[in-house]
């Protein structure tokens, strides 16, 4: 009897897409998808530190490390060696761990989730992490700054894909959960109208555009003209202000529909954008000094640019990582809203029959 109970507890029975019959679903796809999200954001942090400290070429070979197998490189040499080597090799090890978890997510989805499109999504996650690893390796073997820029742009997109995977395998994706979050059965008037998809999709596009612009500033090519760099920086700053405005509008719209699964991420997004703007100002000061608009602040006149200390490096890297987080939350908001609109449309259609 105990073994039967334990076996049953490993499964949930969510209602499948849009009113189809409920089928047993393993909890492991959800667990592994969440593990991917938890691992990928630190991976982006460490990758950002690699660029901040110019440590991308501290290990000249790939896929090995100084001739060793990646997993057999001496631990003492890694932990007690130069910091550049520590973060570069650590970035590779963490990336390999994400790859193993992605393999597990694919197997768990194939065997434990009846929705075939979730298995396809898991396959896309695995292919994406493999591609990201190969891209990072090519950046080392070819010593190409352009590949480093591309690598920095595809990492946040992979993080957003992992967030989507965690979203669609979670309890909030169930039809019943969506209807309950929308207030069905609570109010006689029925669920409130859902916001349109245009705004969340626009925010995802702008958030990724910001990542691309930031990568161009962070990995500025020697052939780039000062005028082009200044234009990119101004566009990056102006777009940040636009995104902050859109995030506030999105929070107001999501709050109006009364669905906490939408309003809470939207509120979090507003907070992340505020932090990101502060980190962006700090990043500019660390790299280039106080901008003219801030010259009246105390200490600006005596500020000197020096080699990055620990605090400076964390400010710059935090700006990179928070940008990825903003893209991920924007994507989560768009996916959840899309699901809500689809479920409510099906619910209203069934009531009209």
Residue 183 region by backbone torsions, left for phi larger than 0, else alpha for psi between -120 and 50, else beta: left
Q: pLDDT at position 156, please?
A: 96
Answer whether 346's CB lies under 8 Å from 18's CB: yes
Per domain, the residue ranges of the chain are: 25-169, 176-353
Tell me, what's the pLDDT at 304?
67
The model carries a pTM of: 0.88
The pLDDT assigned to 326 comes to 97
How much is the pLDDT for 308? 66
pLDDT in tens, 251-267: 999 988 878 889 999 99
Q: DSSP label at 147?
A: H
Residues of the chain short of pLDDT 70, as ranges, are 1-24, 185-192, 299-308, 352-353
Before 63, cis peptide (omega within 30)? yes
Query: What gap in Å lies between CA 353 and CA 351, rounded to an integer?
Result: 5
Angle at 324 between CA 89 and CA 304, to 5 degrees: 75
How do residues 230-252 score in pLDDT, each as one tens digit? 899 999 999 999 999 999 999 99
């Amino acid at each position: 009897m105990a073994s039967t109970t334990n076996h049953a507890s490993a499964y949930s029975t969510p209602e499948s897409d849009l009113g189809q019959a409920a089928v047993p679903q393993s909890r492991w796809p959800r667990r592994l998808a969440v593990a991917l999200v938890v691992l990928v954001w630190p991976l982006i942090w460490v990758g950002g530190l690699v660029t901040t400290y110019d440590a991308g070429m501290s290990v000249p070979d790939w896929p090995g490390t100084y001739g060793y197998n990646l997993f057999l490189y001496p631990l003492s040499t890694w932990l007690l060696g130069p910091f550049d080597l520590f973060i570069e090799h650590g970035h590779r090890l963490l990336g390999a761990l994400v790859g193993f978890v992605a393999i597990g997510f694919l197997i768990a989805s194939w065997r434990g989730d009846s929705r075939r499109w979730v298995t396809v999504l898991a396959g896309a996650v695995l292919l994406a992490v493999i591609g990201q690893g190969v891209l990072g390796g090519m950046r080392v073997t070819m010593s190409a700054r352009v590949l480093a820029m591309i690598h920095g742009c595809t990492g946040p997109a992979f993080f957003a894909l992992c967030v989507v995977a965690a979203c669609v395998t979670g309890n909030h994706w169930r039809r019943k959960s969506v209807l309950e979050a929308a207030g069905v059965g609570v109010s006689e008037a029925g669920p409130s109208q859902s916001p349109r998809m245009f705004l969340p999709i626009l925010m995802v596009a702008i958030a990724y555009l910001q990542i691309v612009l930031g990568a161009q500033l962070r990995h500025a090519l020697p052939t780039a003209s000062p005028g082009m760099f200044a234009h990119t920086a101004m566009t990056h700053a102006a777009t940040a202000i636009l995104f902050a405005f859109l995030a506030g509008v999105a929070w107001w719209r999501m709050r109006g529909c009364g669905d906490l699964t939408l309003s809470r991420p939207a509120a979090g997004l507003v907070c992340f954008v505020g932090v990101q703007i502060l980190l962006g100002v700090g990043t500019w000061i660390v790299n280039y000094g106080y901008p003219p608009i801030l010259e009246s602040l105390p200490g600006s006149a005596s500020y000197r640019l020096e080699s990055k200390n620990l605090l400076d490096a964390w400010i710059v890297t935090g700006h990179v990582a928070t940008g990825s987080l903003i893209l991920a939350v924007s994507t989560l908001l768009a996916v959840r809203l899309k699901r809500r609109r689809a479920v409510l449309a099906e619910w209203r259609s069934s009531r009209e029959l």
